[in-house]
Amino acid sequence: MTITLLELLLGLLLIALLAILAIRLGAIDVPGALAGAVISLFTFLAGGFAWLIIIVIFFGVSSLLTRFRYDYKKRIGSAQEKGGRRSWPNTLANGGIALTAAIGELYFHSDIFTLVFLASIAAAMADTLATEIGLLSQSTPRLITDLRRTVKAGTSGGITGLGETAAIMASVFVALVGILLSLFSPGLTKVIVVFAAVVVGAMIGTCSDSVLGATAQAVYRCAVCGELTESAIHHDQKTMLVRGSRLIENNSVNFIGIIIGTIAAVLIYLGLSAVV
């Protein structure tokens, strides 16, 4: 995509202003903002303002929902750490695949990288909404690997009807935004294929995230309060591993889930494109 000098300057200014605003609002720390700025810059260079708008929507909505009813989430022990301020590992976990797609698009200029970009953002947003809105559900979460079993709100692998509905709405929203911004060539068939691939892929990614959270993600027990936690340190004391792998924490699960969802979207896209 060809970007004029004026567009480049405007894009750089917008990215810088948004990074500063996010830091001032406490939505992200400085390293996280720098990582977000790099991701935003490459996506802007690859897809112009259309791609940048999608990135901004994702980070903006994610930050707002993370801080929405934060006190309640903190009270039940499921709030994001550091007052909801996101860090660079979280930024890369959610935006790393989008960054890879942007670099691929810069070099190869193919619709497949546009699909990878859109599907990865849809998967990331679906998972974020499933978590942040699902925590507000009045119904008791159920473990995705055993739906007969209820779990405490915020438990890795726990799902609710409200959370899953929010995930579906998020994936549909991202797919529609991508289509409305003309990220793909026009045509009803193309639109249907892209929409189906992005939405289904995002939901596969979200479900994969939950399964990994219920099986592989590290869960510890605090030696002080006896509560289960995802942190290796609780009440300033080392915690004891109860299940999962120490190498797999929440950001790792998010990243793997997004990869699975994106791969699923690409396969669905290629499969449907071959038969319609």
pLDDT tens across 10-33, in order? 999 999 999 999 999 888 999 999
pLDDT of res. 71: 73
d(CA 85, CA 23): 9
Q: Decide: 23 and 9 in contact? Cβ < 8 Å.
A: no
User: Which carries the bigger pLDDT value, residue 243 or residue 210?
Assistant: 210
When pLDDT is cut at 50, 70 and 90, the band that residue 84 belongs to is low
What average pLDDT does this structure show over 164-169?
96
The number of folded domains in the chain is: 1
What SS3 class is residue 135? coil
- Indicate if the pLDDT at residue 201 is higher than 80: yes
Distances (CA, A) of 157 to 2, 23, 223: 43, 31, 23
The pLDDT of residue 162 is above 80: yes
Look at residue 79 and tell me whether its pLDDT is greater than 60.
no
Residue 199 has pLDDT above 80, yes or no: yes
**The pLDDT value given to residue 186:** 81
Mean pLDDT of 98-119: 96
Residues of the domain holding 104: 5-275
Determine the Cα–Cα distance for residues 49 and 180; give it in Å rounded to an integer: 13
Is residue 195 within 8 A of residue 176, CB to CB? The reply is yes
Helix/strand/coil for 190: helix
Mean of all residue pLDDT scores within the chain? 90
* Helix H or strand E encompassing 209: helix 188-215
Where residue 77 falls among pLDDT bands split at 50, 70, 90? Answer: low
Buried b (16+ CB within 10 A) or exposed e, 54-65: bbbebbebbbeb
Neighbours of 165 (CB within 10 A): 15
